[in-house]
Structure 1
Amino acid sequence: MTTLISGGHVLSMDPAIGDLPRGDVLVEDGTIAAVAGHGTVDAPGAEVIDASGTIVVPGFVDGHRHVWQSLLRGVAADWSLSDYMLQARALYAGCYDEESAYLGNLLGGLESLSAGITTVVDHCHLQSGPRISDALARGLLDSGVGGVFCYALQNVPVYDGDVDPGEIEDVLTRMPDAWHDTNAARIRDTYFADDRARLRFGVALPEATPYLPGSLVRQLLARADALSPFLVTGHWVDSGPHGVLAELCAEGAWPDRICLSHGNHIEADDLARLAEAGVSLCTTPDIECGMGIGPLAARRFRAAGGAAAIGTDLSNYARADVLQQARLLLQVERSTLAQGSPRPPRSVGYGVRDALALATLDGAEALGLADTIGSLSVGKRADVVLVRPDPLGAQPYTDPAAAVLFTTSPAEIDTVLVAGEVVKRDGVVCRGDLGELQQRIADAAASVRARHHQLPRPEIEQVWAGLFS
């Protein structure tokens, strides 16, 4: 299959190619075969996508999200991090059945494509049983999005009949049950056997990992490594109480490819150690700002020599829009320049293209995918987005990068290709069953909320409060 994307303003994110005010991108068998000036690419018989009036960019990279929470739109809008851990992890997670798990991940994947996100790292910590795991994997695969499905080695409460608060406490505090290892291997072999496919297999560490003694952290890393993941991911907000982070760096004991999320309060020396050890970091600005988690770490980590990505994190908080995250990060970083000074700075210091790179090439590098995605470069997978700037709010523009970052929402994402396949065309995701699907999604979301409402929440909340008192 050959496709010619013709006559758009190409923002390649490849330093060797740069911007082409009027350029063509040739796609052959899912791979970028040429990027050149308009009319210079010979492609007889190709399907032609008229890109005139659009900005052609690489597919966006979302380095950290819990995709299953797409069914819980807006429920976390006023939550603190503690509220989230109680409500989403201890309550709502136990209310999902196979249908809601499948549809949550399917919806999250389709939402990604609509927003131009062609690669997402799904930190999937809803592994409450084998059938749920199957549903989650199938949902993300069926959406057509690329990325990494990271099976979380983490226990999830299951509410069948009477609820025993003591049992819930045990589930939430003990090391991941042994069945997870066998189940994760089965999911890998059943759905992600091809480690070069658009969607690959990864492992997510339990949320408590940074606060465990070193011996237990090493056990978890060994269990993850035994599953041969493409990527390991995990939450890591601070340096932790046991010095494990520094020890792992000194020992060279991190997995070959690992991306930690957040890092807001990791000490400067430890950020430098992580960068030197080849560990990458993903910042999620909406959540980290909105829940008061702490200062954003991506720029500091980049300054320390590390590879950084940007992510949307919670689908129950805000929509999956990586450009929104990049905008927020840019403005937060610029606002810090004025702190402690009565005068505005002479330079904003952090540029539009720096922020956009986190959502494209830098993000791909952080995930170990820079040889495959992140820029419009010959030989890379043809993950391509056509942005049609709003005629009143974005045109005429002078800098395509600024137009993409500051004026683009999912509504301006006109066309999306993943591995050369058109998955959104003329502003509409390419699925013929969207009407029926939306009703199924609404029914599944209502079912999850109903089960949540029936839980003995005061008893569970008391258990949770005891864990964090």
Structure 2
Amino acid sequence: MTSYLLKGGIVATYTKDNEARAFKADVLVEKSVITQVGEGLTVPNSAEIIDCTNKWITPGFVDTHRHVWMTVMRASQCDWLLTEYLLKNSWSIQANITAEQVRIGQLAGCLEALHSGVTTILDHFHAANTPEHADASLDATLQSGARVIWSPSRMSPTTQYLPNLAFDTEAETYKWQMEKLREWGKNGGRLSEDGRVTLGLAYDIGDVGDAEAHKTVIDFARSIPVAVITAHVVKGPRILAYHERGLLGPDVVLSHCTELADHPDLDDEMWAAMKETGTAVASTPEDEMGMAHGNPVAFEAVERGVKCGLGADCLSINSGDIFTQMRFALQFHRARQHEHIHKNKLPPPAHNKFNSQDAFRLGTLGGAEALNLSHLIGTVEVGKKADLLIFDALSANLAGALDPFQGVVFHASNADIEIVLVNGEIVKRNGVLTKVPWGPVALNLRKEAEEIRRLWPVEKLEKLWVEYHGLKGGNLDWVE
């Protein structure tokens, strides 16, 4: 593996003392690790020198909740409510997706993440319909070069959605999924030789049915051990249900957690359960605000000392970068604070409570802490893995920005990232993906996406939605 000396850039990072710092320095990467940070470093004979004059060097972004494979489904989903998404996607398209469509969606989704500087992903893989689907997703993940906690979901595909949901393959699906979990976990959950890909478990059903049966699965997963156990939490007091069943813990990441904002009478008890058990929040503000999940709670978690990171969630709906999530999280929280001040006629504050540095932390070190990886990633420090981004600070977006934290959070896009390193390997250089050429992936992605649109045209999905909504007693006045 090649060594690199990143010469003369501005490093923007949090430190081990939880301080945001921007300073001029060289960064030496040897094999997969950052070995030196400082000015005037000596160049090892084997190192490639990368001139970082007028560049910013930052940690890679960390995504704590993403459905990677869903890049293959970018059609009409961006304007859907969560309820529409469940019927039109989860119970229909997703239940009938092919393994090859999963494969290309997964590969394209990982590459999109890398292109946008997202070097680490907690992948909630919820299309493990068959062993072939699961293997296709894992193979594509390994091929991509991304750092991924690959977390197949313990669930079976829907076999009927009208007039009622049915999961007729649950018994056989449970059997093969548990067998595969044993197979994937035989090396302690390490799925790649270099440790970039590790095993997690997505488990959304722990608050319903037989508590002992769920505990058996969770206990087995922890015995492997899987790196992370993750689940969706939107409405209703699911956090307390999980807590009562002993399913929370420092290895658990709960996505959204918008119920924390919507149930003030339970608020203190639920937050206490999160903090006491070390359970983390994965906040995805872009889709939480747009799909009726509820209000984002990222900065509430920060205020209460609960681990929290950001995520893009469904790549069929949302942008695949963390820039968007940092901006949404910060500006939403500010807006709510401003609203409270105006509504209650309170004295205006001198400054916003949270700033760009705080949002940057959520997208880097905060995410690493949520995934229990802060000893390896999330900052630019000696001994950490070399998951690094190099920004062109003279780009059209950034040339006028003096503060790199403000520049990254408010002005940057993936076009400004010249180089991405993961585990000391360059996967994007001069703005171009290098580990896996994008051209053939794009063509295959387009082909499979068009096939999905052919089988599931907008008109067919809308007809299903109208029928379902009517059966459930919904108001159809809005239907044209």
Q: Which is worse superposed, 208-217 or 258-267? A: 208-217
Q: What amino acid sits opposite 2:294 in the alignment?
A: G
Q: Distance in 1 between the 2:328 and 2:296 partners?
A: 10
Q: Distance in 2 between the 1:186 and 1:460 partners?
A: 39
Q: What amino acid sits opposite 2:257 in the alignment?
A: G
Q: Which is worse superposed, 235-244 or 288-297? A: 235-244
Which residue of the partner structure matches residue 262 of structure 1? 256
Cα deviation for residue 434 of structure 1 reads: 2.5
Gaps of 5+ in 1: none
**Conserved? CA contact 2:100–2:136, under 8 Å:** yes
Aligned length: 460
Cα deviation for residue 381 of structure 1 reads: 0.6
Secondary structure in structure 2 of the residue aligned to 1:340: helix
Alpha-carbon distance change, 172 to 286 in structure 1, aligned in 2, over 3 angstroms = farther
* 1:36 partnered with 2:38: yes
Cα deviation for residue 98 of structure 1 reads: 2.0
Cα deviation for residue 214 of structure 1 reads: 4.6
**Aligned 1:457-468 pairs, distance under 5 A:** none
Q: Distance in 2 between the 1:345 and 1:171 partners?
A: 57
Cα deviation for residue 97 of structure 1 reads: 1.4
Cα deviation for residue 354 of structure 1 reads: 0.8
Q: Deviations over 1:272-324 (max 9, x none)?
A: 22111111111001010111221211222222221101100010112211111
Secondary structure in structure 2 of the residue aligned to 1:397: coil
Identity of aligned residues (%): 27
**Conserved? CA contact 1:6–1:25, under 8 Å:** yes
Aligned match of 2:387 in 367, 380, 383?
A: 383
Cα deviation for residue 105 of structure 1 reads: 0.4
Which residue of the partner structure matches residue 298 of structure 2? 298
Alpha-carbon distance change, 204 to 242 in structure 1, aligned in 2, over 3 angstroms = closer
Which residue of the partner structure matches residue 477 of structure 2? none
Q: What amino acid sits opposite 1:25 in the alignment?
A: V
Which residue of the partner structure matches residue 58 of structure 2? 57
**Conserved? CA contact 1:210–1:236, under 8 Å:** no
Cα deviation for residue 194 of structure 1 reads: 5.3
**Conserved? CA contact 1:169–1:464, under 8 Å:** no
Aligned match of 1:412 in 412, 416, 424?
A: 416
**Aligned 1:124-273 pairs, distance under 5 A:** 124-157=125-158, 169-171=166-168, 177-189=174-186, 192-193=190-191, 197-206=195-204, 208-210=205-207, 214-215=211-212, 217-222=214-219, 224-225=221-222, 227-238=224-235, 240=237, 243-248=240-245, 253-266=247-260, 267-273=267-273
Cα deviation for residue 242 of structure 1 reads: 9.5
Which residue of the partner structure matches residue 314 of structure 1? 314
Gaps of 5+ in 2: 261-266, 475-480
Q: Distance in 2 between the 1:262 and 1:20 partners?
A: 31
Q: Distance in 2 between the 1:437 and 1:141 partners?
A: 15
Q: CA RMSD in A?
A: 2.9
Alpha-carbon distance change, 455 to 149 in structure 1, aligned in 2, over 3 angstroms = farther
Which residue of the partner structure matches residue 331 of structure 1? 331
* 1:370 partnered with 2:386: no
**Conserved? CA contact 1:149–1:199, under 8 Å:** yes
Cα deviation for residue 126 of structure 1 reads: 0.1
Alpha-carbon distance change, 165 to 95 in structure 1, aligned in 2, over 3 angstroms = same
Give TM-score, length-normalised by structure 2. 0.87
Cα deviation for residue 168 of structure 1 reads: 5.4
Q: Distance in 2 between the 1:438 and 1:46 partners?
A: 33
* 1:2 partnered with 2:3: yes
Alpha-carbon distance change, 241 to 314 in structure 1, aligned in 2, over 3 angstroms = closer
Alpha-carbon distance change, 432 to 66 in structure 1, aligned in 2, over 3 angstroms = closer
Q: Distance in 2 between the 1:300 and 1:327 partners?
A: 16
* 1:449 partnered with 2:453: yes
